[in-house]
Amino acid sequence: MEQHTYIIEDIQGDYAQLRQTDVDDPELFPVAMALLPPGCDVGTKLSGMMGMFELID
Domain boundaries, the chain: 4-55
Q: How confident is the model at residue 36 (pLDDT cuts 50, 70, 90)?
A: very high
Determine if the pTM surpasses 0.85.
Answer: yes
pLDDT, position 38: 95
Architecture in CATH for domain 4-55: Beta Barrel (2.40)
DSSP labels, 34-50: GGSPTT--TT-EEEEET
Q: How confident is the model at residue 44 (pLDDT cuts 50, 70, 90)?
A: very high
Distance between CA atoms of 53 and 49, rounded to whole angstroms? 7
Judged against a pLDDT cut of 80, whether residue 57 lies above it is answered with no
Residue 6's CB is within 10 A of a number of other CB atoms, namely 22
Give the strands of the sheet with 45-49, arranged side by side. Answer: 28-32, 15-20, 4-12, 45-49, 52-55
